[in-house]
Amino acid sequence: MDADLGWLTDIVNTTMSAPLTVADRCDRCGAQAYVRVVLDAGDLLFCAHHAREHAPKFADVATHVQDETDRLHAEHGAGAGAAAR
Ligand SMILES: [Zn+2]
């Protein structure tokens, strides 16, 4: 049955790949969101901090997780403290 869903998966991935913007805010603290968690009931947005905190809870129910925390490092990590890698 998995093969039958291949076309659908392609569409979903394309739809969900829309990048998060500064207008997307963490549902918990209102900071800029870098992770989108897609559930059957809708989307949840989290900042990097709360995405990590809630990951164990949404891992079971999420249908898709869009993680853009890499952008966080790219945008804000160029200055002080960026040498952690
Ligand atoms: Zn947050």
Task: Tell me the whole-structure pTM to 2 decimals.
Answer: 0.67
Query: For residue 28, how far is its CA from the centre of ligand 1 (angstroms)?
Result: 5
Give me the DSSP letters along 48-70. HHHHHHHHHHHTTT-SEEEE-HH
Query: For residue 11, how far is its CA from the centre of ligand 1 (angstroms)?
Result: 29
Q: Which of 46, 48, 32, 38 is nearest to 15 (CA)?
A: 38
What are the percentages of helix, strand and coil residues in the chain, rounded to 5? 45, 20, 40
Query: For residue 70, how far is its CA from the centre of ligand 1 (angstroms)?
Result: 16
Q: What is the pLDDT along the chain (85 residues), one digit of tens a residue?
A: 555 656 555 545 545 568 999 999 999 999 999 999 999 999 999 999 999 999 999 988 999 999 999 988 776 555 444 444 4
Q: Say if residue 49 is exposed, middle or buried (CB neighbours under 10 Å; 0-12, 13-18, 19+).
A: middle
